[in-house]
């Protein structure tokens, strides 16, 4: 039986391990931390007893690779699916403005949703609709080197449209402001969401904490198929012989006798592993942060499962019944502030948008993810490495590799599947 060592227990590593083990390849997965999930996990808050995520993660119907993976490990039942797109946007004074596609046939339902989006004037709605009607005819080469802001300006998407629609969508999808992110990669995202069928635009939320949603199911699937998962084991060094990785030195042992290695850890973590040969050309990624603020209220009067805030410092509010999770994406302005400063900002926004006051809050917890995602700027898109490296038996996975997608769950899962399939195909070709 062929063996593969997978380094990293986030979405990319778990996907690789699951597909390899399904194919009959013995997998040993190494994770440096005491839990699976990478940047998408949950834990029990000691003070409240609530299960909270390190950061709120959403999926969409266009996350085809993710949904395929979750079906494989039988975790698809742990999700809440919208039948069609519905997002409750909120202006100040709890003025809820829904963006909702109704029961008309696709794509007429999405056209009607845009035309009924009352956060914008009639004229601005038509400008927004005109953008989408032109979207399928925009060649990728026309956007080369442009930012999202450049593209929107060219298409007469004015400041009001940007604040009420594009800022929310772009920051939510890319965790980056429209002045920094590539128009090319945003075009791909828009095609996937809005031009790939009715279900593609629908929001999908985890039914439970992230660890219960997919980490536990991944572990069970991998172990039931003969794989091993080792937590609290950090890789320190690779030994390379004749252009193959032949040894892996961890903080606990030396591993040898394997046939393949998949590194499914972030670039900055891979750079910390000692080796005599560079696996990939050196690239430098800039990162964007996310702030998650979990709030427990005296009385939760929120009715919807999530809200998007228009022109607010807080971008999203998710309702978990026993607590709320507020998300500030692209959070560079706030990440170094103290917890007291951050909660003061949040309370001010909550009072402005939802009439929630300081006295209504029982407690809170703030989680900072300083390197949550890489910034998909134009200067790095062509530098992202492929899954196959110049070392014969060494492969890369992770949302930062060349998946053609930004730093999302879908990108991570796609990368893991790609790396696993390359190994599976090589073995099939050799028999």
Looking at domain 3-42+65-74+207-283+383-430, its CATH class is alpha beta
**CATH class, 287-374 region:** alpha beta
CA atoms in the 13 A half-sphere facing the CB of 409? 26
Selection from 381, 379, 412 nearest residue 396 by Cα: 412
- Locate CATH 3.90.660.10 in the chain: 287-374
Q: How many whole angstroms separate alpha carbon 152 and alpha carbon 183? A: 9
DSSP code at position 292: E
CA-nearest of 187, 184, 59, 182 to 132 is 187
pLDDT by position in tens, the chain (length 431) = 899 999 999 999 999 999 999 999 999 999 999 999 999 999 999 999 999 999 888 999 999 999 999 999 999 999 999 988 999 999 999 999 999 998 889 999 999 999 999 999 999 999 999 999 999 999 999 999 999 999 999 999 999 999 999 999 999 899 999 999 999 999 999 999 999 999 999 999 999 999 999 999 999 999 999 999 999 999 999 999 999 999 999 999 999 999 999 999 999 999 999 998 877 778 889 999 999 999 999 999 999 999 999 999 999 999 999 999 999 999 999 999 999 999 999 999 999 999 999 999 999 999 999 999 999 999 988 899 999 999 999 999 999 999 999 999 999 999 999 999 999 999 998 87
Q: Name the one residue in this structure whose structure tokens are 């400008």.
A: 127
Q: Cα–Cα distance between 66 and 382 in angstroms, integer?
A: 24
Closest by CA position to 353, among listed 303, 300, 294, 313: 313
CA-CA distance, 230 to 28, in Å (whole number)?
A: 8
Which part of the chain has CATH 3.50.50.60?
Answer: 3-42+65-74+207-283+383-430
User: Among residues 210, 409, 216, 200, which one has the least CA distance to residue 320?
Assistant: 210
> Is residue 399 within 8 Å of residue 407, measured between CB atoms?
yes
């Amino acid at each position: 039986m062929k063996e593969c060592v997978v380094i990293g227990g986030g979405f990319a590593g778990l996907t690789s391990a699951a597909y390899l083990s399904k194919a009959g390849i013995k997998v040993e997965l190494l994770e440096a931390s005491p839990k699976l999930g990478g940047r998408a996990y949950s834990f029990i808050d000691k003070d409240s007893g609530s299960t909270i995520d390190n950061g709120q993660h959403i999926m969409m119907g266009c996350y085809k690779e993710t949904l395929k993976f979750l079906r494989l490990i039988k975790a698809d039942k742990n999700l809440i699916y919208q039948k069609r797109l519905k997002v409750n946007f909120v202006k100040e004074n709890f003025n809820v403005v829904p963006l909702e596609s109704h029961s008309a046939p696709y794509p007429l339902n999405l056209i009607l949703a845009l035309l009924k989006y009352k956060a914008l004037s009639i004229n601005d709605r038509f400008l927004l609709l005109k953008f989408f009607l032109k979207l399928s005819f925009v060649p990728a080469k026309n956007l080369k080197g442009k930012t999202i802001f450049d593209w929107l300006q060219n298409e007469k998407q004015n400041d009001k449209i940007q604040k009420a629609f594009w800022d929310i969508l772009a920051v939510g999808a890319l965790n980056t402001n429209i002045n920094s992110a590539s128009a090319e990669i945003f075009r791909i995202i828009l095609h996937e969401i809005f031009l790939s069928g009715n279900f593609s635009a629908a929001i999908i939320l985890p039914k439970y904490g992230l660890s219960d949603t997919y980490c536990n199911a991944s572990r069970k699937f991998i172990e039931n198929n003969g794989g091993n998962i080792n937590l609290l084991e950090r890789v320190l060094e690779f030994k390379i012989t004749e252009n193959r990785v032949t040894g892996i030195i961890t903080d606990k042992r030396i591993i040898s006798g394997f046939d393949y290695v998949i590194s499914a850890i972030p670039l900055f973590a891979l750079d910390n592993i000692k080796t005599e040969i560079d696996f990939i050309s050196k690239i430098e990624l800039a990162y964007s942060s996310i702030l998650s603020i979990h709030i427990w209220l005296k009385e939760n009067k929120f009715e919807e499962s999530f809200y998007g805030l228009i022109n607010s410092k807080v971008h999203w509010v998710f309702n978990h019944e026993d607590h709320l999770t507020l998300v500030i994406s692209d959070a560079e302005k706030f990440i170094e502030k103290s917890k007291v400063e951050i909660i003061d900002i949040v309370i001010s926004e909550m009072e402005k948008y939802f009439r929630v006051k300081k006295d209504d809050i029982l407690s809170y917890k703030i989680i900072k993810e300083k390197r949550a995602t890489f910034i998909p700027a134009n200067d790095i898109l062509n530098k992202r490495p492929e899954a196959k490296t110049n070392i014969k038996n060494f492969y890369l996975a992770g949302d930062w590799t060349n998946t053609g997608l930004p730093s999302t769950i879908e990108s991570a899962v796609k990368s893991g599947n790609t790396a696993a399939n390359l190994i599976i195909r090589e073995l099939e070709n050799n028999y």
